[in-house]
Structure 1
């Protein structure tokens, strides 16, 4: 009854001090936070609501908070404590002992310390529990007549108290130095009890704990903190080194560079107001940077390690003597060709000479690369290799860089495969069962495999495992960093290129158009493409706005999109400009939600509405979501939904299955009514619109990749001159910088 009376009190200011039990929602303003959390005060628990960004920092579970406000009764949510101001408290000698007891009970760090033990501790050391835990040995707790605590439990209690005391000290340190408290768990995991000492010795160490996205912006913030709180001067070598690391991080994340030319790094430093010669700084440095003097490149040791180990593992696979060749059986090949003739309703299906060489290469080599453009038979070659292995009872694993390719192989060819990331997730079990020994791993869409993914895979598989990569080196490089496949296709003894198009199928014009762009055949492109206004139902059309500017391009794309949607034929829109993507996404979302009230959630200035199509822009191994995965928002959770101890705000149905996303997960989630081409590699759609923006450096690889997304029709929006220029431009894959080229010795 006392709690009911307390909760019904309104209009008067009240103070609550207690332990945070759970946090259901946090929103960040420009400088402060608003939050909804549950706090335990004595025997009572209160739902607290902090509106209007009243908190200087967000609450966390097990924090001790003092909040000031008033009790109110919400019609929908029931009794609440509405906070006007709040402050996190650090446990001190003046902290009420009942709060310290609650802190120990609620904190999962104190394993084995039950309520009954806390009561005994409270009785044994009245008003002096904190001082006792700060100073005594385990033997005191064991020998105390009111405790008689087991020695192991006493040692565990004191160790946990020491750890929590340091965490509180580190938390205070971060707050006082204006450093994000979100870094606390990572600092504890890496540095342990030396975290404060390490940060004081070099505050720029914090850069490695920050996201690689917008690394230079993070560095500027950190640089300002270092000047203000750590007495760093402008000429400090630690400052210059950290700036170089930030430049490399950003180049890695934004453009996929594994290294950068020294002169580019030097110019960027000057733009940041740092005028130091890189050579002199690095000569006196023990930091994680490496200079390639012969090539004039600089890279982080992390990227150098990735490149070196990938090259080493590829050489180990290629040179292994224990791998057993698989003989090409002509009878199996003949059966395969006959089956394909029946499946495709053709009079006679025959593999051409280059396709046969590719099959033999994969059967006889430990490491093989099969490269080819559209409709040159890459999938047929892969299916023929699979048939040879299966008929000889040899183990084979078929992987793909994208979930779309996995689904395509299953639906169109009845072949079971899996995403590379999924395979890596359970690879240890396969190794334990010796499933990979003498097995062949085929990776489809291998041009999308970035260096970091290749590193994880190659580190895991045994030397006597064989590897066959199949892809198209004319496509854009992978979303992640590096150009692994594109490098390997340039090694003659490893690779073969399929170059004879066939089986153009029912979409002959479209497939000829793709191949014409692939080989830069402008004459054929002009013969196939039709003006959209004259023949909107043609497979390949273009539309030329009167003014080739951003707003005109957006308007043209939206008009065509609306026309097709009315005919129940929605098109996927692509662009090279993030700004155009943003404008179109917002416009279509606004129209879709007009005079309707779908559930919505705003994350980092981006609004998500139930039913929106979305794309995930980063690999998330924990959730099993690949870069470029397409999905649809199926649920918006208000309040948040706890799934596997995670506070989730959105449910998305991806190709990999339904996933529950936290607010942090949603930072990689974008609307996908219009997608940037480089973010959607490997996806396929029936009908697409491609905006070829003259304000962006679009080359052959970009246009060819965009065209490869469609299965039925495409509308290009741009002027004819710029499209022709893009087709004839040089391929830019190798403008992606690397530290050192991969060299593979011939197998013994």
Structure 2
């Protein structure tokens, strides 16, 4: 075994699905039997920092093509020991929340050997005067230095990819390996990317039996987790849960599944209500939303008189030079007289104009001057584009919800979020808000007189779990204005009538007409990308700026998928210039001028999933600023590890386009998108076009999308809201779950085979129409 210490100069190869890397290392000191200053080092490595010092153990090997290399069996970080290096290391991304000043403070207190002192005696951290989060960050970072690389390599040997391995380490730290050995199914539902399939591989390695109770519990969690993340469902019907769990286990033992559900209930990981089963974590969020809604929707103490409200609305109409219809007037009245109200309507129904009127009316009623209004009017939307449009229409600053509540700044958690106080809070594009963001938003409201939630209930639901906006409307407790009259058809635009026709499932032949504002071009999937490119080129020649042209699709893969479309569109909308630099990252090439999309929330940078930006420059050789981009006026630098979260955005999925409008939309759908073709998908896509719409692809795909209603998400929130606030008058409530019933809510083998227990599991009264779960189980077990 040979050892040497060196400085990592660059990573010249990194496998996308394993930990294998090829490094260029500058040798410090000597490496036996090797004379050059630098050497290529190969092996499985965890996260490495360029310019970091490492000690490698392994052997020299002779590669037939690349010559002498060092094949590393292990690699350990050599911590810096001089003041400047220690400060730089502590201020790096490895220690979130510890900036330059805190790093200097640590080194001043402990000297250049600060890192070694803290590793040998972590209690010294308490002597540094750091904030609690900084202390924890320092502890985690120092612990990671010792254990991360070793654990990542071990997990790689078990077949777990590096991203998931990193998530496991983040969750369990140095106990990750022992936790997995004890119960490889435990991380399911808690660790992103960790699947039942991966757990099964480890279980086989550790000799865990296929009918193990731990495996059955893991399968139940996996079924519920997949429903949550893939479908957005926060609960699964019990009979489906049993069926899917047995299928996943490939062990036809219904007693085992019943016992698993019972055990998970006792652990608080699963909640069973009536014939519904939910992950405990998701149920908790929806229950907390219900409590927060009760808090923020208490009746106002000082309401405005009806006469004053009418005068204020008339003032708003005069100021805007319009006359509201009765639906619109009711929306304004709800907003200024109710603590929480809802406004929903399709394109052209006047939602934006009503927001303007609400602010003008409230300003009049509350007698606010302009400075007071700017402070008291809180406006927000889920995306930067939607917030920008809100600002342009109202003249008041609108922010993303994340920015409004301070979410993501320096990794803040709930206790550190901003408190919201003001005369009114208006949230636009509410259909995009999932249960997690809505819970955080509500928890931040300290005192706001009026809350108005605005959106289009017929658009696609949020990318994240839940169906918040539709559930709030469906519970029928909060005053809701539903706008049905179309007021806006820009210059005789035919797009809005088409959108409403699609939403109502009318004659699909309307899609294939050639009109002033939209048209259809038929082509097979193999030609779709080329046709889309030609349309984009023609649009450029006709005067459309490149930034006004947006292509939408349903899926990333396939001949007409987003990835292929972006390859073609990049050459059309941002062709390479002489001597322009190119940056290869994962399977994409970036260059200056490219439109890009952020794929994950990045709180430290202040950018979020779905945000669109533009590349300013690429620097293939730069170690820290590999790519520079502008996101909503903010210039950001992206290191190599950040590039996996970026993709080109000349074409984006319809889901990612929500909250935005574009002068020209080119919509590409084929039967390769079969599983995605739903009415709300097509409706959402069409409503992204503000001026022109060109539809491209297979007519059958568009017809199917128009005819096929979208799946209704299964969520606990609407049940919790009705339990809290009461059932709508025309509906009879399901029997509430008593404490005694909850205590009896257990499946047993005897009850399963007797077929006597209802889907409510222990409830004395049956909900009308509920299928008897035990009968289902008994039949399947025959």
TM over 0.5: yes
Displacement after TM superposition at 1:493 (Å): 4.2
Residues 1:621 and 2:603 are matched in the alignment: yes
| Structure 2 CA distance for aligned equivalents of residues 137 and 472 of structure 1 | 53
Does residue 487 (structure 1) correspond to residue 463 (structure 2)? The answer is: no
The answer to whether the 8 Å contact 1:27/1:33 transfers is yes
Which residue is 1:455 aligned to?
439
Whether 2:704 is the aligned partner of 1:704: answer: no
Q: In the alignment, is the contact (CA less than 8 A) between 1:574 and 1:690 conserved in 2?
A: yes
Counterpart in the other structure of 2:696: 717
Distance 2:568 2:340 in 1: 48
Secondary structure of the corresponding residue to residue 374 of structure 1: coil
Which of residues 200, 204, 212 in structure 2 aligns to 1:223?
200
Change (3 A) 1:515 1:33: same
The alpha-carbon deviation at position 258 of structure 1 amounts to: 2.0
Instruction: Work out whether residues 48 and 83 of structure 1, in 8 Å CA contact, stay in contact via their aligned partners in 2.
Output: no
Q: Is the 2:7–2:25 Cα contact (8 Å) retained in structure 1?
A: yes
User: In 2, are the aligned partners of 1:19 and 1:102 still within 8 Å (CA)?
Assistant: no
Cα contact 1:299–1:739 (8 A) shared by 2 = no
Deviation sequence 1:646-697 (CA, Å, 0-9, x none): xx53223223633333444433322222222122111111011112323424
Q: Give the counterpart of 2:406 among 421, 425, 428.
A: 425
Q: Tell me by how many angstroms 1:321 deviates.
A: 5.6
Contact 1:20/1:59 (8 A) holds in 2 = no
Matches within 5 A, 1:89-128: 89=75, 102=81, 106=86, 108=90, 111-112=106-107
* Kept after mapping to 1: 8 A contact 2:4/2:30: no
Cα distance per residue 1:345-402 (max 9 Å; x no partner):
xxxx201111111111111111111111111111111111111222322722111122
User: CA offset at residue 31 of structure 1?
Assistant: 4.4
Q: CA deviation at 1:266?
A: 4.4
For residues 48-447 of structure 1, the aligned pairs below 5 Å read 50=40, 54-55=43-44, 57-59=46-48, 61=52, 63-66=54-57, 83-89=69-75, 102=81, 106=86, 108=90, 111-112=106-107, 168=146, 172=150, 175-176=153-154, 178=157, 191=172, 197-207=178-188, 210-212=191-193, 215-216=194-195, 219-228=196-205, 230-270=206-246, 272-275=248-251, 276-277=253-254, 278-285=257-264, 286-287=266-267, 289-292=269-272, 294-295=274-275, 297-319=276-298, 328-341=308-321, 349-391=322-364, 392=366, 393=368, 395-425=376-406, 436-437=420-421, 439-447=423-431
Question: Which residue in 2 is equivalent to 1:560?
Answer: 535
Q: Does the C-alpha gap of structure 1 residues 529 and 746 become closer, same or farther in structure 2, counting only changes over 3 Å?
A: same
- 1:510 Cα deviation from its structure 2 partner: 2.7
1:432 CA drift (Å): 11
Pair 1:175–1:322, CA change in 2 (3 A) = farther
Aligned to 1:477: 461
Kindly tell me: are residues 599 and 19 of structure 1, through their superposed partners in 2, closer, same or farther at Cα, counting changes over 3 Å? same
Show structure 1 runs of 5+ residues with no match. Answer: 1-13, 71-80, 92-98, 122-128, 139-148, 154-159, 342-348, 643-647
| Pair 49,497 (structure 1): closer, same or farther in 2 beyond 3 Å | farther
Residues 1:683 and 2:660 are matched in the alignment: yes
Number of the residue aligned with 2:482: 497
Alpha-carbon deviation of 1:710? 0.6
Superposed displacement of residue 434, structure 1? 10
Match of 1:539 among 510, 517, 522: 517
SS in 2 for 1:319: coil
Q: CA deviation at 1:261?
A: 3.5
SS of 2:250's equivalent in the other structure is coil
User: What do residues 467-513 of structure 1 show as CA deviations (whole Å, max 9, x unaligned)?
Assistant: 21011101111122211001112233421201111142324323333
The DSSP-based 3-state class of the residue aligned with 2:660 is coil
Distance 1:631 1:137 in 2: 42
Equivalent residues of 1:371, 1:473 under 8 A apart: yes
Partner of 1:346: none
- SS in structure 1 opposite 2:490? coil
Cα pair 2:237 2:277 within 8 Å, conserved: yes
* Alpha-carbon distance in structure 2 between the residues aligned to 1:113 and 1:39: 30
1:518-559, Cα deviation, whole Å (9 max, x unpaired): 444539x73x9634xxx7xx31111223xxx42144343333
Name the CA shift for 1:603/1:388 in 2 (closer, same or farther; >3 Å). same
Structure 1 distance, partners of 2:449, 2:13, is 48
Q: 2:20 maps to what in 1?
A: 33
* Distance (whole Å) between structure 2 residues aligned to residue 627 and residue 707 of structure 1: 22
> Does the CA-based 8 Å contact 1:259-1:739 persist in structure 2?
no
Distance of aligned partners of 1:376 and 1:590 in 2 relative to their CA distance in 1, 3 Å threshold: closer
The change in CA–CA distance for 1:62 and 1:414 in structure 2 (over 3 A counts) is: same
Q: Is the 8 A contact 1:446 1:470 kept in 2?
A: yes
Q: 1:634 to 1:112 in 2, by over 3 A?
A: closer
What SS does structure 2 have at the residue aligned with 1:362?
helix
Q: CA–CA distance in 2 between the matches of 1:627 and 1:434?
A: 21
Q: Is the 8 A contact 2:434 2:465 kept in 1?
A: yes
Determine if the alignment matches structure 1 residue 632 to structure 2 residue 611. no
Task: Kindly tell me the number of residue pairs found equivalent between the two proteins.
Answer: 659
TM-score (norm 2): 0.72
- Is 1:600 equivalent to 2:582 in the alignment? yes
Match of 1:575 in 2: 553
When residues 101 and 321 of structure 1 are mapped into structure 2, their CA distance, relative to the original with a 3 A threshold, is closer
**Which deviations, in whole Å up to 9, do the C-alpha atoms of 1:27-51 show, x marking residues without a partner?**
225545335576683699x995647
Q: Which residue of 2 aligns with 1:510?
A: 495
Is the Cα–Cα contact under 8 Å of residues 5 and 53 in structure 2 kept in the other structure?
no
Asked if 1:651 corresponds to 2:628, the answer is yes
Over the residues paired in the alignment, what is the CA RMSD in angstroms? 4.5
The 1-side partners of 2:413 and 2:219 are apart by 42
Alpha-carbon shift at residue 584 of structure 1 (Å): 1.6
* Deviation per residue, 1:327-352 (Å, 9 max, x gap): 744444333222322xxxxxxx2011
The TM-score with structure 1 as length reference comes to 0.75
Deviation at 1:595, TM superposition (A): 8.5
Equivalent residue, structure 2, for 1:6? none
Q: Secondary structure at the match of 2:619?
A: strand
Q: Extract unaligned runs of 5+ from structure 2.
A: 62-66, 96-102, 129-137, 727-782
- Whether contact under 8 Å (1:59, 1:88) holds in the other structure is no
Q: Distance in 1 between matches of 2:211 and 2:278?
A: 22
Q: Note if contact 1:474-1:731 (Cα within 8 Å) is conserved in structure 2.
A: no
